[in-house]
Amino acid sequence: MTALFNEPAGFVAEALAGFARAHAGLIRYEPDPGYVVRANPAAKVALVSGGGSGHEPLHTGFVGAGMLDAAVPGAVFASPTAAQIRAAVRAADRGRGVLLVVKNYTGDVLNFSIAAELAAEDGIDVRTVLVADDLATDSADGPGRRGTAAVVAVEKIAGAAAEAGADLDAVADIATRVAASARTLALAFTACTAPGRDRPAFELGPDEIEFGVGIHGERGIEVRKAAPAAELVAQLAEPVVDALGLAAGEKVIALVNGLGATHGLELAVAHEELVSFLAARDIVVARALVGSYVTALDMKGCSITLVRAPAEFVDRWDAPVRTPALTW
C-alpha cells in the first residue's frame, strides 16, 4: 500500500518537489508543465527520458552529469504529455541535439513521437531510441516487448558517451546497440497498491509468485510456485541468457533490480545466485548494479537484466556519473 501522501491527485507533484529539494545541487524541478533538469547543464548532446511515475528512482533519479539532462514524469503509471516532453527537450537542448530515451509503451511512444515532431519544428535535432527489453511480452502480435530495467543501462552508457563529447548520431547509435543487447525478466511476490486504493492490483496465495510481471502492477504471464532464491533466479536468468544467445566466455553487465518493496539483503542473495548461475555457463559478470532502481510502487519482487557487454559498453559504464540515484 502507498501510505504516505496527502491526497492522491497531488502525490506526484509534491514528491517531485521534495525529491528535487533533497537533491538541489544536482537537479531542478519545473512544476509547470512538469519536468526535472540538471542544475548544472553541460554543452553536449542532451538525453531526455520519462514515462509514468511510480518507478522511482527512474527517471528523475538519473538526471545529472554523465546520464540524463532531463526527465519527464507523468502521473502514476501514465505517460507524460507531449507538451511536457517538448518543454523538457527545449530546456535540455544545448544546440547539439537531443536523444529521447523511450520505454516501449503505447502512450509513451505516442507522446514522445509527437514531442519529437514539435521539437523538430522548434529547430532541435532529435533522435529516439526505443527500449523494449521485457521478455515476458516478447510476442509477434501486440505492441512488442515492454521497456523496463534495461533503460538504466541505456541511459548510463549513452549518457557517458554524450558527456565525453560524442555527437548525436554516435550517442543514438550506442543507445540503440545497448537496447538491442539487453533483455529482462521479472517476478513478483506481491502486487502494488496505488495511492488512494485500498487493495493491491492483484492477489497471490502465500506459496505463489507472479512470473513475468511488468512495472505497472499488471499481472504477469503465469502464476508459479514460490521456491528458493536459487531456483527463482534460474527461472528468470535462463530465458534471458537464451534470448540473448549468450555463449561461454561472453561478458555481461547484470542488473538485479528490486521492484519497490524488496529488501537489499534479498537482492544481494539474488545477485549471488545469478553470478553462480552464469559462472556455471562460463558467462562473466563484468559489472553489476544491485538495488531498487526501476520500481512499481510497493510491488515486492525483482527483475534480472543482462546486457551483452563489449569493452566499449563497460568503459562507458565505468565513466563517472553524478545523479541522485547513481554516483561513482
In whole angstroms, how close is the CB of 245 to a second copy at the nearest point?
A: 25
In whole angstroms, how close is the CB of 275 to a second copy at the nearest point?
A: 6
**Cell output for 56:** 522511482
Q: What distances in angstroms separate CA 283 from CA 30, 173, 269, one per listed residue?
A: 44, 25, 19
Residue number with CB closer to a second copy (110 or 227) = 227
Residue number with CB closer to a second copy (130 or 294) = 294
**Cβ neighbour number for residue 81 with a 10 Å cutoff:** 18
Candidate list 23, 55, 59, 271, residue with the active-site label: 55
- DSSP class of residue 136 equals G
Smallest Cα–Cα separation from 274: which of 246, 314, 312?
246
Q: Is 55 one of the annotated active-site residues of the chain? A: yes
Smallest Cα–Cα separation from 278: which of 319, 250, 320?
250
Residue number with CB closer to a second copy (144 or 291) = 291
Candidate list 23, 59, 216, 271, residue with the active-site label: 216
In whole angstroms, how close is the CB of 159 to a second copy at the nearest point?
A: 17
Q: Write b or e for each residue in 4-39: b if 16 or more Cβ atoms lie within 10 A of its Cβ, otherwise e.
A: eeeeeeebbbebbeebbeebeebbbbbeeebbbbbe
In whole angstroms, how close is the CB of 34 to a second copy at the nearest point?
A: 14
Q: How far is CA 82 from the centre of its chain?
A: 20
With a CB cutoff of 8 Å and minimum separation 6, the contacts of 254 are 271, 274, 275, 278, 285, 287, 288, 289, 304, 305, 306, 307
In whole angstroms, how close is the CB of 235 to a second copy at the nearest point?
A: 12
Q: Is 216 one of the annotated active-site residues of the chain? A: yes
In whole angstroms, how close is the CB of 262 to a second copy at the nearest point?
A: 6
Q: Site residues (CB under 8 A) for a second copy?
A: 1-7, 11-12, 14-19, 21-22, 53-54, 56-57, 61, 189-190, 198, 206, 209, 226, 228-230, 232, 256, 260-273, 275, 288-290, 295, 297-298, 300, 302, 327-328
Q: What distances in angstroms separate CA 31 from CA 18, 36, 152, 288, 312, one per listed residue?
A: 12, 8, 24, 34, 37
Residue number with CB closer to a second copy (102 or 274) = 274
Residue number with CB closer to a second copy (70 or 232) = 232
Q: What is the separation, in whole angstroms, between the first and last Cα of the chain?
A: 33
Residue number with CB closer to a second copy (116 or 294) = 294
Enzyme catalytic residues: 55, 216
